[in-house]
Chains A and B, each alone.
Chain A
Amino acid sequence: MTSIRGRLLVNLSLVFLVLYALSGVLLYAYLNHVLWKGFDAALLEKAETFARTTEAHDNDVLEFEFLESDLPEYWPQRRAEYFQVWRTDGTVVARSPSLGSNNLPVPSLDAAYPAFSRLTLPDGRKGGAVTLDFHPRPGTEILTAKKAETERLYVVLAISSDIVDKTLAKIRTGLLITCLAFIAGSLPSVWWSIWDGLRALDLVGQQVQGVNADNLTFRFGAEGLPVELAPVCERLNDLLGRLDDAFKRERRFTANAAHELRTPIAELRTLAEVGLGEAQDSAPSMKEYFVDALGVAKQLEHLIETLLLMARCDAGMQVVDWQWTDIAAQLRESWEQLCAHPDGHAVAAAAIIPAHAMIQTDPTLFRALVANLLDNALAYTPGGGAIHLTLVLDSTKFRLTIANTSSELKAADVCHIFEPFWRKTNPQKQEETHCGMGLSLVATYAKLLGLVLHAGLVSPSTLEINVSGTLERETSGPSPA
């Protein structure tokens, strides 16, 4: 089961994480760009100064101020800088002493300059280089000035980018620490915000948990609820109101039906009983009339009791008394009663019941379920037929099977057998209590007890009804003693 709070916490945390990371990356990219731009600008300025201080003289003599001035950064040392100058024909005309025997990358004649690149300096440090093409400044002689215009040089100037790399590393570290600090600070804030925001939902959830068929008069209070939940609670209150009305109507109906149906039967029965008492000395036929009337009253009484019981069960008004019950013992008792009263017609009976079978059920309802199944089997098994009862169970489930000979039943009939009043044939013995409701009651009891009921023809003349379920009730209940 998913939790809104859990999902919000994960989602919001992920969103914050991504936002922080993205912001960090963007900020870093910007700073990286700015720093390198500054670095390149400084490099270019240095290269342009180099170009401005280079002079061309007669006899192909070039004078490099950077070399003449004996600048210390271009001599071999720990923090050296480098330059190398080429003519267009690829001959090197000058190089900083710091290069030693190394060379800087040869510039391409076709490229547009100035051009910047990153490289590893001859001393192994990381650095940046700028390539610039330029005409040297003419020397003091007139002839030289003309020559200088035609002379084209390429200088590659490279310096260490340590300062930029170190600054960027510091920025990365700073951003990472800031990101982690934000995340660490955000998680409790997000959690608290979610907890606080969903508190009203929790409250409503707790109230909903307390609602059941016994307290439908409960209504959700609108006070203190956020506007988002107010309509939900209003609708729930409406729904509870309608449910409450429906339950009350159902109860009223059952009570009224009980009264309206039971009282006339009570009248008929009492009339028959009183009449029978007074007819002891009357003609035999008079006594028979009252006996028949009493029989009709009892049949109607049984029918009404069954219908009302089913109505109560369907309306959820039947109380189920869950207990650990040895159904093997119950089945043996019921089976012995069936064998002791073979109902006037000979049937073969066989049962396989284990010594004990403890399940969590309502013993009275389960006994009634079995009694109705056996009663039905006996009533509709023709003479010479057979009834078989089998109970099997494993560590978690049980299965009760009652099979009986049924010569009239067809496969298409099976889906109807649990319908009230449905009958394919009359029972073998007409009794006051047989009104076609036995298997309907079985279905009602099974539903109430959470059991699975299945019927089928295992052969053209054998009806098999299975009742299966778990040993322990699926919701929490008492443990076996």
Chain B
Amino acid sequence: MRILIIEDSKRLQTYVAKGLRGAGYAVDATGDGEEGLYLAENGEYDVVVLDLSLPKLDGMEILRALQDRNQRAFVLILTARDTVEDRVRGLQGGADDYLVKPFALEELLARIQALLRRKYAVNAPVVQLGDLTINLAQRVVSRQGKPLGLKPREYALLEYLVVRKGELVTRADIEHHIYDERVEPVSNVVDSAICSLRKIIDPPGSPSLIQTRRGMGYVAEEPRA
């Protein structure tokens, strides 16, 4: 999942991005309102973490602009403005969630996960793919009850495929949602990642839960009998 952080505090931007990347999200970050709006409008972000006090362009103006362009990204306002009026203005202005600084990184992660579940219309925090169980809230994966150790990016890839279960997910989609601007995806990075993921989640000799559609992409689905 790809997240955009628009936050003027360089340190906070850096450490939140680091924390989110550590949780397996692709993160882009900027401290400038105008650049933030440009990125939000032109990138395929699942969630935008938006500060309100920004140089060049205020957070509320970015929110309005995104609303006008009917952007699909969910917006979480992360701000020091804590009054009820501010919260109401932010949520009525189109934000999907509102978190006041200072905050626990754990809470920010939980809120982002909740937004992602809403975005991909996943009602339950636990998703089944055959006998593979993905707990989206705890970010734990198990197959036939046995926990599987996934690295953050592997988990993010699996999560992205699973929330779009049954849908064709192109390589470009994966590149956009799993890799941020700091990673220059080479031509086979997605294929390698899928291959690596399959080795972890698929027991030897069993059909893979991630099907390849040649020349198009991948589909996460239960293998046909």
Please give the residue numbers on chain A whose beta carbons come within 8 Å of chain B beta carbons, in ascending order: 254-255, 258-271, 273-274, 277-278, 297, 301, 308, 312, 317, 319
Contact = CB atoms under 8 A, between A and B. Distances in A.
Contacts of B147: none
Given A263-B12, A265-B101, A308-B82, 4 more contacts: A255-B80, A267-B9, A297-B102, A312-B83
Contacts of A266: 9, 12, 80, 101-103
Contacts of A301: 102
Nearest to A277: B22
A271 B82 contact: no
A273 B80 contact: no
A19 to B, nearest CB: 60
B105 A274 contact: yes
A317 B106 contact: no
Q: Lowest 10 A-B CB distances belong to which pairs?
A: A262-B80, A266-B102, A266-B101, A259-B80, A270-B15, A267-B11, A262-B101, A273-B105, A265-B102, A274-B19
Interface in B76-123: 79-84, 86, 100-106
Given A258-B81, A319-B84, A267 B22 contact: no
B18 A274 contact: yes
A432 to B, nearest CB: 13
Nearest to B16: A270
B208 interface: no
A255 B102 contact: no
Q: Which secondary structure characterizes the binding site on chain A?
A: helix
Interface of B: 9, 11-12, 15-16, 18-19, 22, 53, 79-84, 86, 100-106
Contacts of B18: 274
Nearest to B7: A263
A273 B19 contact: yes
Given A273-B106, A297-B102, A263 B83 contact: no
30 contacts: A255-B86, A259-B53, A259-B80, A260-B80, A262-B100, A262-B102, A263-B9, A264-B9, A265-B101, A265-B102, A267-B11, A268-B102, A269-B103, A269-B104, A270-B15, A270-B16, A270-B19, A270-B105, A271-B11, A273-B15, A273-B106, A274-B15, A274-B18, A274-B22, A274-B105, A277-B19, A297-B102, A301-B102, A317-B83, A319-B84
Contacts of B86: 255
A274 B14 CA distance: 10
A238 B105 CA distance: 48
Contacts of B83: 254-255, 312, 317
A297 B82 CA distance: 18
A342 to B, nearest CB: 27
A271 B53 CA distance: 21
| Most chain A beta-carbon neighbours within 10 Å: one of B80, B82, B103, B105 | B80
A276 B61 CA distance: 35
Most buried by A among B16, B18, B101: B101
A26 B95 CA distance: 85
Contact of A278 (B22, B53, B100): B22
B104 to A, nearest CB: 7
Nearest to B81: A255
Contacts of A264: 9
Contacts of A269: 102-105
A445 B84 CA distance: 18
Contacts of A308: 82
A263 B80 contact: yes
In the complex, which of the residues A258, A264, A319 has the most CB atoms of chain B within 10 Å of its own CB atom?
A258
B160 to A, nearest CB: 22
Contacts of A259: 53, 79-81
Contacts of A262: 80, 82, 100-102
